[in-house]
Amino acid sequence: MEKTLVIIKPDAVGKKAVGNIITAFDDFGLKLAALKMIKPSRNVIEQFYSIHKEKPFFQPLVEFMDCAPIVVCVWESENAVSKVRNFIGATDSQKADKGTIRNLFGTNNRKNAVHASDSLENAEKEISFFFKPEEILNYNYDAWISK
């Protein structure tokens, strides 16, 4: 089973879409392994998106992500990274396929409701950026809920 990180961005939090987004991921067959709402500092956001530091959209992205709380989630399934990437849709919400998370809850290229890890390697880095190992459900989920 793979794990991947999803961030529900400030625009979706402000639209009160968090519950609907979590339900959509759950209904899509993913298992929630960790969840928390946080308001990271600007410095933390800059560190998280540091790979984009030299790109022109970096500062506007940091400012946007700094404007309100976010919800960080770890989702688990077979092929979680690719499954989630397909489910959320194109980065630009206006170009995202109908029924994808970004199409349903996003507005544009930046206010696109969610961030999701783009590779297994990045998923591992991003998950450890926000979560300690003990905060992530790491046992047989199905056996646990059947008790």
Domains of the chain, with CATH numbers? 2-138 (3.30.70.141)
CA–CA separation, 10 and 64 (whole Å): 7
Confidence of residue 32 (pLDDT cuts 50, 70, 90): very high
Mean pLDDT over each residue of the chain, to the nearest integer: 94
pLDDT by residue (tens digit) across 65-113? 999 999 999 999 999 999 999 999 999 999 999 999 999 999 999 999 9
Residue numbers annotated as active site: 115
Q: pTM of the predicted model, to two decimals?
A: 0.93
In sequence order, what E strands does 9-140 have? 31-38, 70-77, 114-116
pLDDT by residue (tens digit) across 41-69? 999 999 999 999 999 999 999 999 999 99
The pLDDT value given to residue 138: 76
CA–CA separation, 24 and 144 (whole Å): 22
pLDDT by residue (tens digit) across 129-143? 999 999 999 756 566
